[in-house]
Structures are given as C-alpha cells and as structure tokens.
Amino acid sequence: MRNGGRRWRIGLVSTAVFAASTTLAWGQAGQTPATDAVSHSSAAHEGRRYMVDQSASQGAERPAEKPAPKADDFWTRKTLTGDWGGARKALEDKGITLQLYYNQQFQQNFKGGLDTHNGHRLSGSYDLNVLLDFEKVGFMDNAGFFMRAAKGTWSDGINPNKVGALNNVNQDAGDDHPIFVNKWWFWKKFAEDKVELRLGLLQTNKDLFDVSPYANHEDKDFINRGSIRNATIPHRNGIGVFLKVQPVEWLYTQFATLDAQFQARTTGFNTAFHDEPWFMVYSETGVTPKWKSAKGALPGNIRGGVWYDPVPKTKFEDVGAAETKTGDVGYYFGADQLIWKECEGDKDKQGLGLFARYGHARADRNRISDYWSIGASYRGLIPDRDHDVVGLAVSQSILSDRYRDERRPLADRETAYELYYAYEATPWCIISPHFQVITNPGGEQDDRDAIVGGVRVRIIF
C-alpha cells in the first residue's frame, strides 16, 4: 500500500493529538469558568439582581467577586503556547507576528456513495504564517508582508474512493504533501486606507473574492466544498496583482489578474514569466450596509462579480468534431447579513446571520454550469457558550445541459446538506462535529445518496 507505514505513523500521531485536545476540553470543565466566558446579557442580569438584593437588605455584605483570570492562564489564553515568556508580544511590537495552526479531521461514510467498507479516514493539515508590519518595523507606513511560510497536508480523505462527490466532503484533505508555500504577498494601503494594493502569490478564494463571514473556510466554518465555495468560479493561486478601492464605507470595487497556468506547490515564477501570456481576471463590486437595530449595527454584504479564464477548454460536442476554445467567462452573486443580535454593541458578534450564493458558467465547456447555496450561522446559541457557532447550509451544483446531451445522459445535479457545531473547548482548541447528506454524489441520477459524519479539531499554537 502506497506510503502505508508513513500514513500509519501519521494516523497514530493525529489520534494522539485529538485525544489530548479532547482531554484538555474535559479538564477545563472541572475548572472554575473564566469571567470573560459570561455573556453580556448574563452579566447585566446579575447586576440587576444584586441591586435588588442590596436594597432589600442594606446590612447584607457584598458578595465576593470572582477572581479575574491570569494574564497568561492556560485555559483562557488565545494560543496553546502562550506568550513565550514575553517574546511573542515583543516580536509583535516590533512588527513580526508568527501564527501556527493544526487541523485534524476524522470522517466516516456511513451510507451510500461509492463504498462504505472501511469508509473512514484521518486527514489534516498545518499552516505556518509569517506577518510583517512594515510600519512597526520602521520601513514603510501602511504596508506589510504576508507569507504562508509552510503548509502541509496528509491523506486525501474519504471523498475520492468512498463518496465520489463533485464537491469534496472535506475541502481540507489534500493528499500527502509535507511542506510547501502556497501564498505570499506584499500589501500597501493608500489614500487614507481607501485603496489597497497586493503583489505576490495570491489566492482568490478565502482572501479576495466572494468572501463570506459565515461560509468561507474549511478549517473554521463548514467543511464541504459546496458549502463554502461557489462551484462555478475558477478560483486559483498564482503570481499576480490585486487592487481594491473603497471610496466610502459602504461601497467597494476590486480587481485582480494572476497567472492562469500556476502549478500547485511551485514558486509560480516558472509559468508567470514563461510559456503563453495567459492571465486570469476577476472583478467584484459590493455594498456593505450596516442596518440599525435596537442592539447596534447589523452588518451585511451584497456583491456581484465576473471572471475570465483564458485557458483552452474542450467544448461538449460530438467527440470527433470537438473543438477547443479559449476565453471562458462567468458571473456570480453573493449576500451575507446579520439579521439578529443577541447583545448590545456594534463589536459584539453574537447572533444569527444568513448567507446565499449563485453562480453561472458557460454550459458548452463547463461540467457545472449553475450553482447556488443558502444557509444560516448562529454564534452563541447556547447560554454561556458565547463563542460557539452552529451552522446549516444547503448547496447545489447543477451539471450543464450540453454536458448531459453530449457526454453523460444521466448527468443531473449534486445537492449537499451540512450541519456543524464549533465548540470552543478553549480559545486555542475548537472541536467541530459535522454531519452531511449528499444526494447524487457525482451529479448523476443513478449515484447513491451518501451520509457522512465526522469531527474536526483545530489547535492554535
């Protein structure tokens, strides 16, 4: 079996980390809760109750206050490794920030799909980021540098051989690649931060286009690709340039062009400045309203965009007469809106948010011609669990009529239903069980519906 010994060792290490993080979570339950875990509403209620008790019994002593958590308390600090004896803060004060994230997933195909026999896998990834603030360094105002200095993945998960879905049921699964650099850029802001420029190895999804605060990242939000990514947009990494202009607070427009022939896990220079001069083009315009409510502003985002892909694609025609065409185009729309706040204050994020996406690509050369998704995300649904998030999403990828007529008569659509709950065991350890139902995984009418479940652990070092 390919890399059997190494995968077995990876599995043992991954299982050990998972067990350790779970043990820490239950260990925390035996500790006295930190005072900052109490919600604003609970704190207000306690204050009113104390005032009533005091007026009823003026001679009663004031109840003892809970001790404030230590500055670097293991259970309440933001990172597992803490402040490194002050070194971390000293570096950040000088403009150097280091971030390390570890992500581990376990998934099981319970029913349907391609195969349920031994239908479970451990997979995961790590990300090491280096951020430089050139203003703090004393080099340049309103400028800096970002690099994903190291990224690694292990195992391709259950989707290729056990589920067979068009949209990976675990978007973080990326086969066995121990270390590589997948993005970096220099950034600079001008005109009182109304204009932003980025140059480097860019990534269009997650960072730049069709970004959602509720359904955007497989390590933090939903894990199914269809829940977090518009299937009609040809998202890429590549050497390129990005420009964003935001003349007023509620309106922005942005543009990017990058190498269309970038090969994963390379520097990108070999294709950006050689071979054909093919460059992807993306453009997006959006409004970011903040609706007034009794408890503060309700932020939202409504966006629309277009893209251009110069890479030649074969049209869905009779195989003997099929021709290759360049210049593929498509468009998309997206919307996000916080519709209810739990607590007062513009900065408080507790409440219910909704999101939706739609996209279209040419049916004569793209297998997926239409896509849509809708969903909801609630932060702080359970009392005293203010940082936990529960999310529900439904997404559908529709195969093109031309693809069905010319290539696959049973081609139809794939629909994914996903539910997840992100439990913050500590600020640096988030445990997220998830459940998925995929109808027609693979998009054809005779595909067996699949039921997938699993758990994800994210540790912030």
H runs (alpha helix) in 250-336: 269-272
pLDDT at residue 274, as a whole number: 83
How would you write the pLDDT of the chain (461 residues) with one tens digit per residue?
Answer: 334 444 333 343 344 444 444 434 334 434 433 333 333 333 333 333 333 344 333 444 444 555 665 667 999 999 999 999 999 999 999 999 999 999 999 999 999 999 999 999 999 999 999 999 999 999 999 999 999 999 999 999 999 999 999 999 999 998 899 899 999 999 999 999 999 999 999 999 999 999 999 999 999 999 999 999 999 999 999 999 999 999 999 999 999 999 999 998 899 998 988 878 899 999 999 999 999 999 999 999 999 999 999 999 999 876 666 678 889 999 999 999 999 999 998 888 899 999 999 999 999 999 999 999 999 999 999 999 999 999 999 999 999 999 999 999 999 999 999 999 999 999 999 999 999 999 999 999 999 999 999 999 999 99
* Residues near 408 by beta carbon (within 8 Å), at least 6 away in sequence: 399, 444
Q: Among all chains, which residue has been given the structure tokens 């999310």?
A: 391
Nearest-angstrom CA–CA distance, 386 and 90:
30
Nearest-angstrom CA–CA distance, 433 and 223:
10
Q: Please report the sign of the dihedral spanned by the C-alpha atoms of residue 65, residue 71, residue 77, residue 81.
A: negative
Q: Which two tokens stand for residue 231?
A: 């299937």
pLDDT at residue 326, as a whole number: 87
Nearest-angstrom CA–CA distance, 79 and 218:
20
Residue type, 175: D
CA atoms within 13 A on the CB side of 9: 4
pLDDT at residue 397, as a whole number: 98
- For 194, phi then psi, to 5°, come to -85, -15
Nearest-angstrom CA–CA distance, 207 and 389:
21
- Structural domains in the chain, sorted by start: 4-32+74-460 (2.40.160.180)
pLDDT at residue 346, as a whole number: 85
pLDDT at residue 182, as a whole number: 92
pLDDT at residue 320, as a whole number: 60
- Residue pair 239/201 in contact (Cβ under 8 Å)? The answer is yes
* Residues near 272 by beta carbon (within 8 Å), at least 6 away in sequence: 238, 239, 240, 259, 262
pTM listed for this prediction: 0.84
Q: Please report the sign of the dihedral spanned by the C-alpha atoms of residue 445, residue 449, residue 450, residue 451.
A: positive
CA atoms within 13 A on the CB side of 192: 4
- Residue pair 431/457 in contact (Cβ under 8 Å)? The answer is yes
Rg (the chain; Cα; Å): 24
Q: Are strands 237-248 and 143-154 parallel, antiparallel or unpaired?
A: unpaired
pLDDT at residue 262, as a whole number: 94
pLDDT at residue 65, as a whole number: 55
Q: Which two tokens stand for residue 108?
A: 């099981």
Instruction: Count Cβ atoms within 10 A of the Cβ of residue 192 and give its class: 0-12 exposed, 13-18 middle, 19 or more buried.
Output: exposed
Nearest-angstrom CA–CA distance, 398 and 414:
7
Q: Which residue, among 280, 260, 282, has the nearest Cα to 271 in the 3D structure?
A: 260
pLDDT at residue 36, as a whole number: 37
Instruction: Print burial letters for 2-27: b (CB count within 10 Å at least 16), e (below 16).
Output: eeeeebeebbeebeeebeebeebbee
Nearest-angstrom CA–CA distance, 306 and 285:
9
pLDDT at residue 202, as a whole number: 98
pLDDT at residue 178, as a whole number: 85
Nearest-angstrom CA–CA distance, 398 and 331:
15
Nearest-angstrom CA–CA distance, 209 and 235:
9
- Residue pair 329/307 in contact (Cβ under 8 Å)? The answer is yes
DSSP assignment letter at 68: P
Q: Which residue, among 310, 280, 314, has the nearest Cα to 403 in the 3D structure?
A: 314
Q: Which residue, among 222, 211, 184, has the nearest Cα to 389 in the 3D structure?
A: 222
